[in-house]
Structure 1
Amino acid sequence: MAVSRSTLVSVKWLKNMIASKSANHRILDASWHLPNTGRDAKTEFAEKHIPGASFFDIEECADKNTSVPHQCPSEDGFASYVGSLGINNETHVTVYDNNPKFALFSAQRVWWMFRLYGHSPSKISILEGGLPKWLSEGGEVTDKASDITPQSYKAVFEPSLVKNYEEIEENITKAAFVLVDARPAGRFQGTMPEPRNDTKPGCIPNSKNIPFYSLLNEEDRTMKSPEELKAIFKEAGIDIQKYFVTSCGTGISACVVALAAHMCGNDSVSVYDGAWTEWYHRAPAQLKLNVPKD
């Protein structure tokens, strides 16, 4: 049975894909939770996951030589990690996560990472609604580990999709691009605490705020339509046809904005990987706005 493929896929699509017994399809549980939730995504995966899925550990597939959480690894690091999950360059990868409230919360980070390391965009999909929607629509789950045959993977880093601290700092004066922050408005405005105790809220000068959850439908656990997304970008003063950069706390929810831009036909958007957490700890005081005094 042939199964059509797109970026956001439904429970029905994934059920059909599993039923087709495609020889080169891998399912990844990319669940990740904020440090203040007390949840352990890896433990939860071991207890319950979609049959055939493997766990993609965002903290493990990362640069271990920096104190900033889950920064992108080297080409070799990414290639070795995904190869160990049975993925090669021709594998179609379907990613999901397990968030009780949002249609997607961390799966989009892994979708972006695959694009960052050269995987064909037509071979990486996100299960819209994640594990909760899978369960609500009768999907089976298991606690059994999947059999994995390691594969060889060739990663080709695409530098245009990511920005670093120096490039964001330079842009404050050059204004070559707009920076869009995906955190909740309270964290952006400095009125709501950050989820990490060593980081205060605030924002980068000249940045705009589009909370990631404003791009999602809570009721049916979907992403808003391209027409609705375009209206949100327009209201925030973002020209969706132009290049821009997105940020957040540590590069996770920023990828929701990148995904929304992709759904609107703009694949040029970059992610500031270090995001506000790196900025808060590196930038001088005058380049950190809305930070509470106490």
Structure 2
Amino acid sequence: MTERWERSVDVATLSDDVGVRVERASADGGTAADGGGAGGIAGLAGALGGGNTLQSDSESDDGQQAGAVSVTVTNFGNAPIENAVLVPRLPNGSGVAELGRIAVADAIAPGDAESVTVDLSGIGAASVEFAVRYELDAEEREVTRQYGLDRETGAVSLTGLNVSLDGDRLRLSGNLGNVGDGEVSGVVLGVAESEYAAPAYPSRDQFLGTVGPSEFAPFELTARVDAANATSVPVEVTYTTAGERRSTTVEVVLPQDTGRTGGGFLGGLGGTVVGVTLGVVVTIPLIVFSANRYR
């Protein structure tokens, strides 16, 4: 005679909890505390495992590898994760071609950690996103961590603006100066299309190239405006700094002229020539991300 016993068994719910910590790497293979990348996993200090390395031979005076960081992946869940791969990304979301995909571990058991050392010395961007892709419960998942790099960045200002209006013809000149501590390159500016303004021949836009720290470059732009309704014109500035392509728009106020007559947008060329020098400085800090658009 066979007896059968039944009893309930508690089965823990699958927990997906993977942490990523980024620290500056020292020459002896350890890590050094770094506020820029330590925003992540509490209680992880000292729990660094071995792993693959992509590292620089250079070393700083304080014993740290110049540009090298240690990225540690810890499994805080209750099931193993498999095929963990590190994918560094630039702020615009694209991958870092110089680094590609970096294998972290075939499997990381619950409570274990694995780390890799990554050389960021060739990266010109101001920050890097470390994405860790892994498999859990037959599904591919991802966790990310932002890491700020100590990079010199430029900051541009439009100064000494001269605005002249002749009917619907606008001429805008001035200087684009770099007030930051890093260079800006690939600088292009021009009057942007708007309800009451449009770029016009002969200077719809202008390429200024590279502007070093504490240097400036003169520019001149032309546009056509609805003189009866326009109070300002948008000037779009696009540039690259610290490896990031950015774009921002500055509204340049038009001179007040009570004698202007309307005629509609792109109307007649008649009217009095009005000239004014604006003694203001329009600063566009590159660290203000809300004012920028990545491309």
User: What TM-score, normalized by structure 2, do the two folds share?
Assistant: 0.23
Indicate the structure whose relative CO is greater, using CA pairs within 8 Å and at least 6 residues apart.
Answer: 1
Give the number of the structure whose residues are more often strand, by fraction: 2
User: What TM-score, normalized by structure 1, do the two folds share?
Assistant: 0.23
Structure label with greater radius of gyration = 2
